[in-house]
Structure 1
Amino acid sequence: MEQGGEAWAGSGEGGSTGGGSVRARTEDARERLFRLGAEALTDLELLGLLWTEGPRGAGLKDVAEGGLTRGGLKALVQEDPRTLCARRGVGPARTSRLLAALELGRRAQRSPERRPRLRTPKDIHAYLAPTLGGLRREVFHVLCFNPRNVLVHDARVAEGTLSACPVDPREVFAATLSARATAIVLAHNHPSGDPEPSVQDVGLTEHLARAAGLLGVKLLDHVVVGDGAYVSMLERGLLPDSEREGRRKCGTPGGGW
């Protein structure tokens, strides 16, 4: 990260001092991107390619010192757009370009299959991580499956705050019944990055498991997504006994439903 900071230590593009040097560094980064691939560039150099000429002021350096060097790109993803926009030398145009690029990167990681077959907690995490990773607040999803473990609907049924997400069971099962699902997987994220389920998470899962049983729907798992990691409540033995019955082989990582 220090290397990137040094590469962009000059004044912002369009400034009266050092502007030519910054433009030269931009051209050098662009040339190396085509020659070596985008992965050869530092985070700050990649940001610099988005930083087209604009108002005077450091701008990019401010972003680096205020966010990129304290939490990396994740800090930028999670920052409120209005806060980022208000930084010196940033503004709405640069903010929109930056957030658009980050969102495109997130979407590029999503599965190209519209109805993937997801058979394990690991599969669920791989499917959800591009969508839930790096969000600034908790969200709650219900993944609806047919009898062949094919995903027929992915519904976001609740959005909360940094540390909580109230879930209405009626929204959970409205999505389930609308999709005519025979089985569901619950999933939510922890913006803190720690996927360890809370007491409230376990209590909600038990409540929803009872409701699913009354409707004849199998609750396969509740997966909590963190920063590059996840916790499967099924693998942890945190689902009610009736929900674990018949799926004991999923009690170890890599097992299927």
Structure 2
Amino acid sequence: MERAWVLGMDEVEGTAGEGSVRARPHEMEEVRERLFKLGASALTDLELLSVLLEVGPRTQGLAESLLPYGGGLKALLLKDPLELCSQPRLGPARAAQLVAALELGRRAQRTTERRPRLRTPKEIHAYLAPWLSALRREVFHVLCFNPRNVLLADVRVAEGTMNTCPVDPREVYAAALTTRATAIVLAHNHPSGDPEPSVQDVGLTVQLVEAGRLLGIKVLDHLVLGDGAYVSLMERGLLEAEGHNG
């Protein structure tokens, strides 16, 4: 059973026939027709890339060459924009189109609620995934809550490299104190895709839990997000997440 945080009074990767159709320029009209009739989900990764890049006679085969180069669609979108610019027949304009398409996709997944109510690690992951997926470096977020599990603020307090992200405890609790939060959830991503916490992740969590006790602010959980998955240190039993009574 999924564990929830009690603070107070209340308690598709795949695509259709992926890689099966080669969307040549003379077929683009048919591809667009299927898109409008059946929806974008009916198109393969290759077809979607072809539509996005507006493949024409001078760029024939561009989409086909990009997918193997990137190691698949998601891996392609993790490439540095400057690296994409250097690819033959792509250039700055089309590289910008790819990067912009990824960001639009992220934003479309974000919750429209300004102050959502989040009570479980699963709900936190669903909220954070659109923000933290497909990032090339580690970032560290502090989610600040009131006694009714309402999110008061989501603050990015640190940015690092591909495999490390130094975190200053003062920045973590500055965010909580500013919003007068009674509890916080820590979260960061692993660009490698593996959400398994490191020894350093666990040690930082212990340090921040102790600091929170001195300030009267409860650390409910620390989520590590990977590729479509997450690990909750609370669910692992690596910290106590008993609720506050409001």
TM-score bucket of the superposed structures, by smaller chain = 0.7 to 0.9
1:44 aligned onto 2:59: no
Residue aligned with 1:184, SS = strand
Structure-2 change in CA distance of 1:118 and 1:3 (3 Å): closer
Structure-2 change in CA distance of 1:217 and 1:125 (3 Å): same
Structure 1 segments of 4 or more deviating over 6 A? none
Contact 1:84 1:90 in 2 (8 A): yes
1:7 aligned onto 2:22: yes
Q: How far 1:55 moved relative to its partner? A: 8.8
1:66 aligned onto 2:81: no
Q: How far 1:24 moved relative to its partner? A: 2.1
| More helix per residue | 1
Structure-2 change in CA distance of 1:162 and 1:142 (3 Å): same
Distance across 2 between alignment mates of 1:3 and 1:211: 49
User: Percent of aligned positions with the same letter in both sequences?
Assistant: 66
* Structure 1 equivalent of residue 11 of structure 2: none
Gaps of 5+ in 1: 9-21, 248-257
* Structure 1 equivalent of residue 25 of structure 2: 23
Give the letter aligned to residue 161 of structure 1. Answer: T
Structure 1 window deviating more from structure 2 (195-204 vs 162-171): it is 162-171
Contact 1:62 1:87 in 2 (8 A): no
Q: Which has the higher contact order (CA 8 A, sep 6+)?
A: 2
Distance across 2 between alignment mates of 1:26 and 1:54: 9
* Structure 2 equivalent of residue 14 of structure 1: none
Distance across 2 between alignment mates of 1:24 and 1:31: 13
Contact 1:141 1:155 in 2 (8 A): yes
* Structure 2 equivalent of residue 19 of structure 1: none
Count of aligned residue pairs for this structure pair: 227
Residue aligned with 2:235, SS = helix
Give the letter aligned to residue 33 of structure 1. Answer: L
Q: How far 1:74 moved relative to its partner? A: 1.5
Deviations 1:152-172 (A, max 9, x none): 100001111111111111111
Contact 1:224 1:232 in 2 (8 A): yes
Give the letter aligned to residue 27 of structure 1. Answer: E
Superposed, 1:31-110 pairs within 5 Å as: 31-52=33-54, 56-57=58-59, 58-67=61-70, 70=71, 72-110=72-110
Residue aligned with 1:163, SS = coil
Contact 2:69 2:76 in 1 (8 A): no
Q: CA RMSD in A?
A: 1.8
Gaps of 5+ in 2: 1-14
1:141 aligned onto 2:141: yes
